[in-house]
Structure 1
Amino acid sequence: MDATGREGRFRYRGAELVYDDHGAGPLVVYAHGGFVSQAVEDRMGLFDWAPLLRAGRRLVRYDARGHGRSTGGAADADYTYGSLAEDLLALLGHLGSSGPADAMGSSMGCATVLHAAVRAPERFSALVLLIPPTAWTTREAHARADRAAADTVERQGVEAWLAGRQAQRPPRVVADVPRFPPTPPRRILPAVLRGLALSDLPAPAALSALRLPALVLAWEGDPGHPLSTARTLARSMPQARLHVSRTRADVGTWGERAAAFLTGPGRPPGGGGRCCGRC
């Protein structure tokens, strides 16, 4: 897969959102994790989405509001999961999708996809949910850390916050993945952090009403993306399946797993059907 695809831009709610459009065929949209961007995720080397293109899918990846090439203001409310879900729905409208689209998201992007799907389930045909973040009973401690980080950035600068992050040991499964500075600029980084602190995943009761095929991809040993969230998602969503990776090599299979799930036997192109059983 080429590094950039065909770049597109559109304005929504005071920001310019930038996306890259790869391949041709039924639409799949992808939302990245917090503080990174498409380019940073590519440099991290964790996920390979080329199998989706080989399977004949059109893949649109975008930089979230305030991240990477996309702009954003300094309002906390702009960076809640619900607000980011509005951006995703606006992107689908901008792309002129004629029917439901498949959606994938990692961490913050996973939360974005879930909120968008709960709000407008008719816009989606299937979901791939990567490393779901802290939620429900585990969320408040993470929210406190985000609020403290925002205060640190404002009072001591980004470098002080990054020094604290560098001292934290990464999960063993991704211990060799390089770290990168946050892509939101300093002037809006506190707002991003506080917006995330205001956020949570949809309640399990709301997820239980979501009748969409879903593949949940998680790894072990990560307090920021605990297996408790992934397991609750898999239990709550009627058509969800869970795969847990324990090695970096197995994480490397996620692109193939996503492609098999979205395009395998029993799933018509662009929506409907059930998991192919190869997950």
Structure 2
Amino acid sequence: MRPLSYLQRFDNVELAVQQHGKGAPLVWGHALMGSINVENRAGLWNWEEVEKHAEVVRYDARGHGNSDGSYDPEDYRWSCMAHDMLAVADSVATACGVKKCVLGGLSMGAATALEAAVQQPDKVAGLVLVLPPTAWHSRPRQAAIYRRLGRVSGLFGAAPYRLLDMLPIPVKEDGRNQLALHTMKGLARANPLHVQAILRGAALSDMPDLCTLEKLDVPTLILAWEDDTAHPLTTATTLAETLPQVHSLIISHPTDISDWTPALCEFLDRLAAPKKRRAATGKRRPAIAC
């Protein structure tokens, strides 16, 4: 099915939104400095398969891709980005005639979805957290990296990314390298002032505290991969141990994420199943697949 693409204004920002599929709505956020287009090029998902199980609603976060942005780092804190995701979800829920949406995303998108669920859990039918980023004790080091990258962007603008975009750089076909390459290439067309503000906003951000997450009673799927310092397994496993309703934690290698799309589709089907059937399974510890 060909996606429906449109621009929609939410309060003070106009976001680029893409909609496809049929079923309960899944609102999806991308990674830091990414976009819908970057995720498509990285090839992490079979969206044609996912749309058989949900109304997939993807959007470019503020300052990213084809969406508006500001030059204020405060606007790019995860807590503020969550307001945008909830605004998209409210719009979709109204159009679909439902009260709740599944929220999910990759890296920054996962952090945004989690923050949105903490802010308004009554609007969230489920969570899909893919490659949860650094958090808590591992966040300060990553924040320092973002601040340094922000200073580099201030000095050189988009020039390094434009050069990278022109070079025929050989890259491994695994998901991690594909995501990194296409993210960098996408920055060749980004507004350098937006990039600086986004990186500074990311440096100001962190996950909600564990005491708060212990009370977040929302069905959750967590997908992670090995050997990625920006998305450490410690974050994924801590979330799996803390959140009350983790359906499963799947740990893959970046060279083989073929189980991600089926796991997402199965989780969406599980959420769509009659409530009595889901209640009969009871609460259980997450099934960890490696």
Report the aligned-residue RMSD: 2.9
Alignment of 1:169-184 (within 5 A): 174-175=176-177, 178-179=181-182, 180-182=185-187, 184=190
The aligned counterpart of 1:198 is 204
Partner of 1:74: helix, strand, or coil?
Answer: coil
Alignment of 1:198-277 (within 5 A): 198-240=204-246, 241-249=248-256, 251-264=257-270, 267-268=273-274
How far off its partner does 1:172 sit?
Answer: 6.9
CA distance in 2, matches of 1:239, 1:49: 25
The aligned counterpart of 1:120 is 120
The alpha-carbon distance between structure 1 residues 150 and 162, as it changes in their structure 2 partners (threshold 3 A), is farther
2:30 corresponds to 1:28? no
2:101 corresponds to 1:94? no
Partner of 1:190: helix, strand, or coil?
Answer: helix
Q: 2:13 aligns with which of 12, 15, 19?
A: 15
- TM-score for the superposition, normalised by structure 2: 0.84
* Bigger shift: residues 7-16 or 19-28: 7-16
- TM-score for the superposition, normalised by structure 1: 0.88
The aligned counterpart of 2:57 is 60
How far off its partner does 1:187 sit?
Answer: 2.1
Give the number of aligned pairs: 272
CA distance in 2, matches of 1:22, 1:161: 31
The alpha-carbon distance between structure 1 residues 141 and 261, as it changes in their structure 2 partners (threshold 3 A), is same
The aligned counterpart of 2:149 is 149
Note the alpha carbon deviations across 1:162-188, whole angstroms, 9 max, x for none: 999x9xx99976345543232641121
Kept after mapping to 2: 8 A contact 1:101/1:126? yes
The aligned counterpart of 2:78 is 81
* Bigger shift: residues 119-128 or 173-182: 173-182
The runs of 5 or more residues in structure 1 that have no matched partner are none
Partner of 1:103: helix, strand, or coil?
Answer: strand
Q: What residue identity is the alignment partner of 1:24?
A: K
The aligned counterpart of 1:108 is 108
* Bigger shift: residues 232-241 or 259-268: 259-268
Q: 2:43 aligns with which of 42, 45, 48?
A: 45
How far off its partner does 1:26 sit?
Answer: 1.1
The alpha-carbon distance between structure 1 residues 266 and 43, as it changes in their structure 2 partners (threshold 3 A), is closer
How far off its partner does 1:266 sit?
Answer: 8.1
| Structure that is richer in helix per residue | 2
The alpha-carbon distance between structure 1 residues 26 and 17, as it changes in their structure 2 partners (threshold 3 A), is same
CA distance in 2, matches of 1:196, 1:120: 22
Identity %: 33
Q: What residue identity is the alignment partner of 1:226?
A: P
Q: What residue identity is the alignment partner of 1:248?
A: T
CA distance in 2, matches of 1:175, 1:11: 34
How far off its partner does 1:23 sit?
Answer: 1.6
Q: 1:71 aligns with which of 68, 72, 88?
A: 68
Q: What residue identity is the alignment partner of 1:99?
A: K
